[in-house]
Chain A
């Protein structure tokens, strides 16, 4: 090739094609999606999804800062494509509208740990989350998740005994007589964020599946 201008134009138009096709077109199709509004049984209007509360949004910032996406995904694949739904990670696949209020969108690309799209439905217990974050080996022995002791504070117990939100640590995890471990605000916010992760709501483009026929299970042989 000799012609600089020809080369330059070719370079320009080839990238421009996907810039239009994979950046501008998706933005046009999905960039103004809003929450879906529906009426529930009592006639109230329900919006899904909803923007997160302040604490939960703060928690999303901690999720981002600590890099949770490198082990946890937040997307449910369709039924029959992988085992996401069969494992109970979600009742339906996730679609674009599930993420309209997420900044940044943290879909993740790795499942060293389980998917967290609906962790708020599976696990809403504060104590479990604090224990799991403080040292995952407490609740999930053999897990490859690192401990996050810096989200907690080890301090001397007050006169009246342990604080209400102190972690209940026993055995090899206990911190000695007269000491307690309490979550810092960052831990609490992160847990609020995790508790807010729920997508089992109907959407026109992704309805929840009807519950399967309720049939009696045969009793197993005694």
Chain B
């Protein structure tokens, strides 16, 4: 093996030659992950494009109700849940699983076990999702928020998930590294919590429906926990891995990690019923959820301290690393959306913002601003390593980042404000309802503009990925080291 060049030495401070065996293992792990992780990631991103298209249609319909209105399968009440399920189960869950698989392999130091199994799981997931989303558009939506896919799609998803769960347990048992890093706690927890949530919801809402408002309690316990016990842990696991990894420093405090994890595990799952404040539920259920929502300040502040103090003093690295850019943006949005969520759960504030577009803005700050940004950052890191190819275009990376960042700000800030104004007007009985509706129009139109920016970012990213994948089948090219070091590469032979 030729000795590492000066450039590479600059990138590996403190790395000694004996580390090369570790590198070989990492390379082997990454190569073994290639097919299953790519399958999940590419499917996830194709669903992202579908979900973005559905999102634009939904957004336009909300301020221009006559848009595409004559087709029953495109009516607002169907495209909106189709968009929701496409992005949460099609994009977010699949990229989440892809990132989870790779992180688990890396952290357990085990090459991918039975990649065929995971690939079949991905196939089933996509089939189940297609059946489910088409079912919603054809009129079989369950009208249970976050669980709209009809019953006949669920067994297919269940088969897929069972395969993933089995894989996770096997990999964990085979782990070489005895010390468990914080990301592994979160990932294991997410993988074990999700099937429990989903099975409970399916049984108590669809298979043997509970009576009356018990359905509402189960619905919102489920929906909030998909966010808090499935997406949040995966996102946090990724942030905990990539921030210290890219900047080369340890996480600020182990004790904060422990505190953050267990307080999240204890309190987050009690939050769900704050979605029903003022609703037909006994007071104690709402109160308990409000208390749990406020107690979330504990994990949120500890995680924020851990992430942000680790980053402190290293912000110049954001310039050259797209991974860091997206992941840090995601971490900031996590703190922001959690604080917004705590505020929203107080009865006095819920009185204003419940039933308004403010809730939608909050949901997007969480799922898009936090989870999606972290996923994008993770993919910028993972894909080159499992394909052994570099991102072909820095320009497309820039378009992706700025499209998503500006789109996110343009989405969340105006719609949050618009929602508050809507709520205040609605709470004044002397304002006729139609006036309240008219007042929301400009904010809804701005949201469509924001959506166009987001769509631009997504298209840029998928184009870059497709270009990269095309190169997998071509001859190897030299890496574009400018991304990490800011050093211009010499002209690449044969480009």
Contact = CB atoms under 8 A, between A and B. Distances in A.
Direct contact between A and B in the complex (CB less than 8 angstroms)? yes
Interface of A: 1-2, 4, 7-8, 10-12, 14-15, 17-19, 21-23, 26-27, 29-33, 63-71, 73, 75, 77-78, 81-83, 86-87, 93-107, 109-114, 136, 140, 142-150
Contacts, number: 225
Given A4-B180, A7-B188, A18-B221, 18 more contacts: A11-B265, A14-B269, A17-B269, A18-B269, A23-B204, A26-B214, A26-B218, A27-B217, A30-B282, A70-B80, A77-B278, A81-B278, A82-B427, A99-B216, A104-B209, A105-B213, A105-B215, A150-B72
A112 B148 CA distance: 20
A111 B221 CA distance: 22
9 contacts: A7-B185, A11-B188, A14-B265, A14-B266, A81-B278, A81-B351, A105-B216, A147-B70, A149-B69
A35 to B, nearest CB: 11
Nearest to A19: B200
A31 B204 CA distance: 11
Interface string B252-289: 00000010001001100110110110111110010011
A114 B210 CA distance: 27
A29 B209 CA distance: 16
Nearest to B269: A18
Contact of A33 (B180, B212, B273): B212
Contacts of A113: 437
Interface residues of B, number: 84
Nearest to A83: B429
Contact of B355 (A98, A105, A110): A110
A87 B144 CA distance: 27
B212 A146 contact: no
A82 B352 CA distance: 7
Contacts of A19: 196, 200, 221, 269
Contacts of A112: 62, 437, 440
A77 B65 contact: no
A97 B211 CA distance: 10
B266 A111 contact: no
B221 A95 contact: no
A72 to B, nearest CB: 10
Contact of B217 (A26, A68, A95): A26
Contact of A98 (B172, B210, B280): B280
B359 A109 contact: yes
Contacts of A144: 62-63, 65, 437, 440-441
